[in-house]
Each structure stands twice: as C-alpha cells, then as structure tokens.
C-alpha cells in the first residue's frame, strides 16, 4: 500500500465528510426521538449502499434502528470494526450547526456524529486506494447516551455480534489530543426512596423528616468517594410538599462510577449499608438499582491494540500517543468484555460535549482517519 497516497486520499476526502457530518447533524436525533435516530440511520444506510458496501439494518423496538456497513465483506483477513452512535443528548431546536474557520460547532459534532464521518472516511480512502485484504466494518448505535436501556440492550447485542472475531474495535467518540483510551469507568445508577412521618411544622418533634434522613445519607455515601477510585454523586433530590409540613417522602438519585467489576461489589455494599442505616428515627428507606453500564477495563488485548496503533503511527510519522483512562462510560465496555481488542476516543478532535458549545477541529476528521487507516494496513 502506498501510504503517501492513502494519507493524501484521507485529506482529499475531508471536505466531503465535513458535508456528510453537517447533513447528519442537521437531523435532530435525541435518544428518545426514534424517528430522528431512524432518519440518521436511513441516511447512513443509503450513503453506504451508494458506496457499494454491504449494508445490514436491524429494526429495534423502543430505540432507533441500528446498522452496519462493510467494505470487503468476502475478504479472508480478520475484520477491523469501527463504531459510533447516532443519538445525542440535545433536544430539537436547541441550537444549529455553524462553521467558524476550521471549527465546526453544533449538537453531536463531537459526541458522536463526528465519529461516523471519520469511520466512513476511512472506508472510502481504503477503497479508493485498492485495499482488499480484510473486511472493514462501520457499526452504528442508536441509544448509547441512555445506556441502551430503551432497547433492553438489543443494540449492544447487535454491535457485539457484528464485531465478533474482529482483530480490532475502534470506538469513535471524540478524540483528545495525544491520547488513545484503553479503559473507561462503568456507571451504576441507584436511588434511595425514603419515607418519614409527616406532621405540621408546628409539631415538628412528633414527625420524622424524610428530607433530613436524605441529607444524612447523602453525606454518608458521598464521603466514600475517592480520587482515582469509586465516586458517588447524589445528583437528584426530590422531597417534601410544602414548607410548613415535616416531609413524608424524599428520593435521592445517585450516579456511581467504577473502574473494575470488583468495584461493583464494593459500591453496592456501601450503598446498601448506608441505605439500611437509620439516621432519623421513624424513617425507612428502600434502595433500588436503576441501571448499570459495565466498565471498560484495561485488558491485555486493549493494551496490545494500543501498542500496535502506536507502532503504526510512529512508523508513518503520525505522532506520539499515550494511553488514556476516561471517567465516562461507553459501548466499548461491552466489546472489551466480549474479548474483542478495543480502544476508544478516536473520532475527531474537539470538546465541550453535551453543551451548546460542542465543537470539533474540521481537519481532524481526516487526521483521525489516518491513524485508523495506518493501523489497518500495517
């Protein structure tokens, strides 16, 4: 493979995939907007068919549909898979797409529609340069931002089935300069439903405040957070009805971040210990698991993949990279658990995800594409 030609082809295609990215970002696709996510999926599937890729679309109840597109489906080499998600956290009409010099700003440009553009750029650059050695597949997800709960993990099952047996899985969340992610924290969501004894505030000592109990529990569980370890964040508190009544009920919603499967046991033991402790006599608490996403652990396979990518980048002058660990969860946790060598955050460079200032460096669409393409042909 003529690498100079391949890299020039990536650069030539940058403007095409910038236009592609703007098109899909102009389709509003918040996770709970199935019609919007399906529209992104249909756009990408039609685009892939016109490129003569093998396209598979799976209908999903409760979430947007999912798809895969494959270059060289009949090749005998081990497949390389890329993945990104089509859903965003941004509601329709929040803000539009705009270009300011070499920066593109708007909903989903970094998290994670920019990754879709990178993946399809890689496939076309390889195709145009005559790469036929192995299948190269793009897998698009539809409910990543809501932990795949609406689909009951059907989207995850599709992704892992499509990536089975691959020599590498690239999750194309937005990139951080000089870093490639080999591990991510997992997420547990729990809640405390607290019941107290309501009385008029004038007879305060005859009641038992559910809000006061919640305050004790919040302090007790959050003080168990450790830098670099498990963190407990009480992000939602709902309690009481009026100011002159001792509150009968209060709910505390919690987000817990863990690095390993072993952390899950410790976190849940702490959650139930605090939940079962009565700080205000007369109150009671029910501790309930709301959802979970496993951690993407730093496995030997992920480390080897990182080192292989680093070797390719050094060989072709694409720069130095270091391993990164991220506190946010992602779908790459599931491919790691499935034993598929996985790395994350190889979409375009950018930042401020989940905000109205979400942005990417336009030229990094092809820049990230070069990194992935270099690994594939090495």
Residues 8-51 have pLDDT tens digits of 999 999 999 999 999 999 999 999 999 999 999 999 999 999 99
Query: 315 CB contacts (<8 Å, ≥6 apart)?
Result: 374, 378
pLDDT at position 172: 98
Contact 330/342 with Cβ under 8 angstroms? no
The list of the chain residues with pLDDT below 50 reads none
- How many other β-carbons are positioned within 10 Å of the β-carbon of residue 148? 26
In the 8-state DSSP scheme, what is residue 2?
-
Contact 246/196 with Cβ under 8 angstroms? yes
Burial 184-220 (b: 16+ CB within 10 A, else e): bbbbbbbbbbbbbbbbeeeeeeebbbbbbbbbbbbeb
Angle at 45 between CA 44 and CA 49, to 5 degrees: 115
- What Rg do the C-alpha atoms of the chain give, in angstroms? 23
In the 8-state DSSP scheme, what is residue 280?
S
pLDDT at position 232: 98
What is the average pLDDT value for the chain, to the nearest integer? 97
Burial 320-335 (b: 16+ CB within 10 A, else e): ebebbebebbbbbbbb
Burial 300-312 (b: 16+ CB within 10 A, else e): ebbeebbebbbeb
Give the chain's domains with CATH numbers: 3-184+295-377 (3.40.630.10), 186-293 (3.30.70.360)
pLDDT at position 328: 87
Q: List the beta bridge partners of residue 197.
A: 208
pTM of the model: 0.93
Contact 31/37 with Cβ under 8 angstroms? yes
Q: Which of 236, 274, 269, 275 is nearest to 255 (CA)?
A: 236
């Amino acid at each position: 493979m003529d690498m100079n030609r391949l890299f020039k082809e990536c650069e030539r295609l940058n403007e095409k995939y910038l236009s592609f990215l703007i098109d899909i970002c102009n389709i509003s696709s918040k996770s709970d907007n199935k019609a919007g996510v399906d529209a992104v999926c249909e756009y990408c599937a039609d685009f892939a068919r016109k490129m003569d890729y093998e396209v598979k679309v799976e209908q999903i109840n409760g979430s947007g549909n999912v798809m895969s597109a494959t270059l060289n489906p009949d090749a005998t080499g081990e497949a390389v898979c890329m993945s990104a998600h089509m859903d965003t956290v941004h509601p329709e009409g929040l803000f539009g797409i705009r270009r300011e010099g070499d920066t593109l700003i708007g909903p989903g440009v970094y998290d994670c529609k920019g990754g879709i553009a990178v993946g399809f750029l890689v496939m076309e650059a390889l195709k145009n340069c005559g790469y036929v050695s192995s299948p190269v597949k793009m897998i698009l997800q539809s409910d990543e931002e809501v932990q795949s709960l609406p689909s009951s993990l059907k989207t995850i099952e599709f992704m892992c089935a499509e990536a089975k047996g691959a020599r590498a899985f690239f999750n194309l969340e937005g990139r951080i300069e000089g870093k490639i992610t080999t591990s991510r924290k997992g997420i547990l969501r729990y809640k405390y439903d607290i019941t107290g004894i309501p009385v008029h505030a004038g007879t305060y000592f005859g009641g038992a405040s559910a809000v006061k109990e919640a305050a004790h529990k919040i302090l007790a569980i959050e003080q168990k957070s450790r830098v670099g370890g498990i963190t407990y964040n009480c992000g939602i508190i709902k309690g009481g009805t009026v100011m002159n009544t001792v509150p009968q009920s209060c709910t505390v919603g919690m987000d817990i971040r863990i690095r390993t499967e072993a952390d899950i046991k410790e976190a849940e033991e702490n959650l139930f210990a605090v939940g079962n402790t009565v700080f205000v006599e007369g109150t009671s608490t029910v501790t309930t698991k709301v959802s979970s996403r496993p951690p993407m652990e730093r496995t030997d396979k992920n480390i080897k993949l990182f080192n292989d990518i680093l070797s390719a980048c050094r060989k072709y002058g694409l720069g130095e990279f270091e391993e990164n660990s991220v506190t946010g969860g992602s779908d790459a946790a599931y491919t790691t658990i499935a034993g598929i060598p996985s790395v994350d955050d190889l979409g375009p460079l950018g930042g401020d995800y989940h905000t109205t200032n979400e942005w990417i460096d336009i030229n990094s669409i092809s820049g990230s594409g070069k990194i992935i393409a270099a690994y594939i042909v090495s």
